């Protein structure tokens, strides 16, 4: 009987799908992530389940969507009856290890995994300059000394490039001149503004109240600061973002170099992905939380640096829609462990081995409790649920009568997502088809009531703000 492989899941935080030099981005160099691509398959149609840290990570851990996990935003709490990937693999005979960022509230990582490094205080949003290096050293020690006959599952949660958020927080406190005025860089050193720096002003009410209005629900102080920025400020944000990615790529490189010197290399599967992306100036946005491509589309690579695992190499898969819910069933497949019956994802192993398999023809994404998106080969449909008149703390959907505003973008002819077709009569049938997919998908979800008091309070506070805008006909 063939030995089950060791599995390493390397994840970065806030890493957009195209911020990799092997994918043609000339404004940064990622030689080590490029190595993973050369030795594996990159899935280019990969979407997070929700563009914020805790929510997306709860899907990684459970194979469920965020309206099912109890973590539809930062501040939720994983339902206690849901098993996580560490518990499942331990029951299947693996030793399970965690190092670095976890950020699945409501689940003690130390009870589901053996922790190599997690700090005295749980690793939070920032501090990559310290935490990432410490994580790498802990993994090096582990790979050098592991001598158990059991196969291992190791997940490494790097913080960078999330520290771009700390760069943004600096602007809350003071007005900072652009880098050319400071003499830090020349204009030629800076990447250009994104093609979609402008945006559709018919966004959902949820998005505008969260991210556009002066007293926005999310990061209003940063929003106030960036409204004073000139073009060079925005371009410098992108420059900094790429440097944070290069830093975490170097950490990944140290791990990969050591792995290649061990006996594990031939029988170790490596999965690389990110929890969500970073807007980085697209649509004049920063950070995540939005349903635009830059925030929801992420890298996903399945790789092996040795010869012992069947992985098609140096290949792009541009066809299949991959989601964060696919992490758990993929790992379980390679580990020869049954995933829970409730799992919403599918194993990517047949696709990695280039086998024919029936696959979904869309991606489903949630955001900020009320936001939803469907992505197909040709279109992206973004919509929202209006807050309920009496909040019952059951994540909304499917309910046509409760839908609010919508956006529809043609992915092939207008990938910048600035031309909203939702109200164009010729696209009425497309909008309806997307709604049908949305409701059919939501009918398959096991949405549970959110009972954690802090999460209920956040929903209630946001609901009051949103309801006020709807009542004023915003």
How far apart CA 276 and CA 140 sit, in angstroms, is: 26
pLDDT per residue rounded down to tens, the chain (474 residues): 458 999 999 999 999 999 999 999 999 999 999 999 999 999 999 999 999 999 999 999 999 999 999 999 998 999 999 999 999 999 999 999 999 999 999 999 999 999 999 877 778 778 899 999 999 999 999 999 999 999 999 999 999 999 999 999 999 988 999 999 999 999 999 999 999 999 998 999 999 999 999 999 999 999 999 999 999 999 999 999 999 999 999 999 999 999 999 999 999 999 999 999 999 999 999 999 999 999 999 999 999 999 999 999 999 999 999 999 999 999 999 999 999 999 999 999 999 999 999 999 999 999 999 999 999 999 999 999 999 999 999 999 999 999 999 999 999 999 999 999 999 999 999 999 999 999 999 999 999 999 999 999 999 999 999 999 998 876
CB 25 within 8 A of CB 238: no
Sign of the dihedral defined by the CA atoms of residues 386, 392, 394, 400, in that order:
negative
Angle, CA of 459, 464 and 469, to the nearest 5° = 125
pLDDT at 1: 40
CATH number of 363-471: 3.30.1120
CB 404 within 8 A of CB 386: yes
CATH number of 6-164+236-352: 3.40.720.10
Sign of the dihedral defined by the CA atoms of residues 458, 324, 285, 191, in that order:
positive
Strand, helix or coil at 41?
strand
pLDDT at 119: 73
Q: Tell me the domain boundaries of the chain.
A: 6-164+236-352, 363-471
CA-based Rg of the chain, rounded to a whole angstrom?
Answer: 22
SS3 content of the chain, % helix, strand, coil (to 5): 40, 15, 45
First CA to last CA across the chain, in angstroms?
64
Q: Which two tokens stand for residue 53?
A: 């840290």
Same-fold call for 6-164+236-352 versus 363-471: no
């Amino acid at each position: 009987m063939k030995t089950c492989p060791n599995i390493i899941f390397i994840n970065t935080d806030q890493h957009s799908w195209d911020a990799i030099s092997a994918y043609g981005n000339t404004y940064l160099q990622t030689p080590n992530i490029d190595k993973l691509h050369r030795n594996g398959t990159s899935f280019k149609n990969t979407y997070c389940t929700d563009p914020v840290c805790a929510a997306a990570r709860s899907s990684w851990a459970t194979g469920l969507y965020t309206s099912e996990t109890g973590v539809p935003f930062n501040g939720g709490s994983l339902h206690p009856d849901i098993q996580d990937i560490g518990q499942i693999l331990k029951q299947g005979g693996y030793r399970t290890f965690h190092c670095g960022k976890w950020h699945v509230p409501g689940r003690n990582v130390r009870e589901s995994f053996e922790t190599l490094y997690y700090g005295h205080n749980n690793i939070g949003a920032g501090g990559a300059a310290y935490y990432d290096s410490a994580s790498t050293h802990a993994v090096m020690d582990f790979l050098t000394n592991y001598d158990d006959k059991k196969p291992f599952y190791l997940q490494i949660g790097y913080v960078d490039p999330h520290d771009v958020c700390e760069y943004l927080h600096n602007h809350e406190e003071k007005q900072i001149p652009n880098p050319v005025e400071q003499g830090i860089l020349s204009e030629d050193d800076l990447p250009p503004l994104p093609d979609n720096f402008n945006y559709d002003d018919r966004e959902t009410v949820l998005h505008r109240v969260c991210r556009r209005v002066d007293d926005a629900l999310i990061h209003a102080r940063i929003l106030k600061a960036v409204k004073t920025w000139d073009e060079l400020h925005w371009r410098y944000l992108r420059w900094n973002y790429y440097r944070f990615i290069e830093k975490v790529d170097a950490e990944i490189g140290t791990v990969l170099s050591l792995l290649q010197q061990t006996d594990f290399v031939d029988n170790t599967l490596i999965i690389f992905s990110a929890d969500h992306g970073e807007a980085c100036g697209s649509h004049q946005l920063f950070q995540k939380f939005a349903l635009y491509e830059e925030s929801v589309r992420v890298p996903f690579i399945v790789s092996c640096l040795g010869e012992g695992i069947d992985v098609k190499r140096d290949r792009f898969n541009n066809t299949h829609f991959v989601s964060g819910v696919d992490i758990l069933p993929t790992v379980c497949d390679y580990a020869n462990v049954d995933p829970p019956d409730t799992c919403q994802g599918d194993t990517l192993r047949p696709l990695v081995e280039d086998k024919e398999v029936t696959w979904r023809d869309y991606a489903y994404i949630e955001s900020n409790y009320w936001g939803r998106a469907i992505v197909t080969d040709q279109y992206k449909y973004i919509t929202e649920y209006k807050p309920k008149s009496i909040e019952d703390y059951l994540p909304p959907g499917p309910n046509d009568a409760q839908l609010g505003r919508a956006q529809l973008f043609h992915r092939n002819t207008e990938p910048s997502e600035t031309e909203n077709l939702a109200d164009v009569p010729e696209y009425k049938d497309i909008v309806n088809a997307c709604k049908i997919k949305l409701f059919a998908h939501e009918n398959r979800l096991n949405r549970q009531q959110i009972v954690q008091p802090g999460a209920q309070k956040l929903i209630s506070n946001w609901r009051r703000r949103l309801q006020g805008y709807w009542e004023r006909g915003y």
